[in-house]
């Protein structure tokens, strides 16, 4: 029996869409090598909100990427945009199940923050805490190794910046 189902439904319109009482407008699309950034405006009555939507397109399903560099770049771009905006809404991260790729991104972001602030990181503690918060975060040993790879790469980057 074939297991045929749509893994990722595009829940945003190409230009404009109405979802219940909410109108969604795509104001701008920026195609990057490994992800796409969309500036969206959500309107409901007289209320409107701007949302920056990042879609990481190069993570293979049921695998880990060969390199962590694109994920680090995405994470750094998200952090830079967060600093540059006056709107302090939350960063929302999701994937198909909400635990594998999502867990890797969040664990990497937390670990990079620890490296910047404390000069050291405890990836195991990060993943254990994430799993207490949401069961199954960072689903496989390969994903856990990938988080380590990403943090090692980021630590090397910080060391190189410190030398300069």
Annotated binding site: 61, 95-101, 139
* Binding site listing for substrate: 61, 95-101, 139
Do the Cβ atoms of 95 and 74 come closer than 8 Å? Answer: no
Catalytic residue of the set 8, 32, 95, 104: 95
Q: Strand locations in the chain, DSSP E? A: 16-19, 22-31, 35-44, 47-56
Residues in contact with 134: Cβ distance below 8 Å, sequence separation at least 6, in sequence order: 98, 99, 103
104 is catalytic: no
Q: What CA–CA distance (Å, rounded) separates 56 from 3?
A: 24
Residue from 133, 39, 36, 37 nearest 87 by CA: 39
Do the Cβ atoms of 138 and 127 come closer than 8 Å? Answer: yes
Catalytic residues: 95
């Amino acid at each position: 029996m074939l297991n045929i189902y749509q893994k990722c439904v595009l829940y945003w319109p190409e230009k404009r869409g109405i979802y219940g009482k909410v109108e969604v407008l795509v104001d701008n699309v920026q195609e990057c090598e490994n992800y796409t950034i969309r500036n969206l405006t959500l309107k409901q009555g007289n209320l409107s909100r701007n949302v920056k939507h990042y879609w990481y397109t190069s993570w293979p399903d049921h695998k880990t990427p060969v390199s962590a560099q694109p994920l680090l770049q995405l994470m750094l771009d998200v952090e830079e945009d967060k600093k540059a905006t006056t709107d302090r809404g939350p960063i929302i991260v999701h994937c198909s199940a909400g635990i594998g790729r999502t867990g890797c991104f969040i664990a990497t972001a937390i670990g990079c923050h620890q490296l910047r602030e404390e000069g050291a990181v405890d990836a195991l503690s990060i993943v254990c805490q994430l799993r207490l918060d949401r069961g199954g975060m960072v689903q496989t040993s390969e994903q856990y190794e990938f988080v380590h790879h990403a943090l090692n790469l980021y630590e090397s980057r910080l060391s190189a910046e410190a030398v300069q």
